[in-house]
Amino acid sequence: MAKKRDFAIIDIETTGGDPKSDRITEIAVIRHNGKEVVDSFTSLVNPLMPIPHHITRITGIDNAMVADAPKFFEIAKRVVEITQDTIFVAHNVRFDYSFIQKEFRQLGYTYTRPQLCTVKLSRKVIPGYASYSLGKLCKALGIHNEARHRAWGDASATVNLLELLLEKSEQGKVL
């Protein structure tokens, strides 16, 4: 029987939406064994570029907040360790995964993890919602998000969503 893998639920905030030109400003990783949280890590990240004003309005993260934050290379080892032997989980996984892959690629490291998208899984396990955005889905499901558009708040809400989806999938739905 294959060993069950842990999940690394990840959320990032960035300077914009393009992984080719934008950078990470905040990261949260919550390791979950399918039953409970077993480890976590969160940090602001100095993106080595200015944060546009419209991004600051959304996230609340400004240039002064990240000025003394670690650069990605300074937290890269921790990201590798906490996500080792896990399934990389995010709400819209392609976004978060592409940014993290790019950061590692710039360090000369190939970062690969199997991925699970909670948007896609939600559509499969709990169909029929008008929107599958994290905010609207959490509101509809009664999942509290202590800090929307911040890495820790969104990652924590995604943990709660994943737990709900895992529970429902164990009740006969397909994971």
Residue ranges of the chain whose pLDDT lies below 50: 1-2, 173-175
Q: pLDDT for 118-146, tens place per residue? A: 999 999 999 999 999 999 999 999 999 98
User: Distance between CA 54 and CA 35 in Å, rounded?
Assistant: 38
- pLDDT value of residue 3: 56
Q: Tell me the pLDDT tens digit for each residue of 60-70.
A: 999 999 999 99
pLDDT value for 175: 46
Residue 169 confidence (pLDDT): 82
Residue 2 is predicted with a pLDDT of: 45
Q: What is the pTM of this model?
A: 0.93
Check residue 4 and give its pLDDT: 73
How confident is the model at residue 171, as a pLDDT?
63
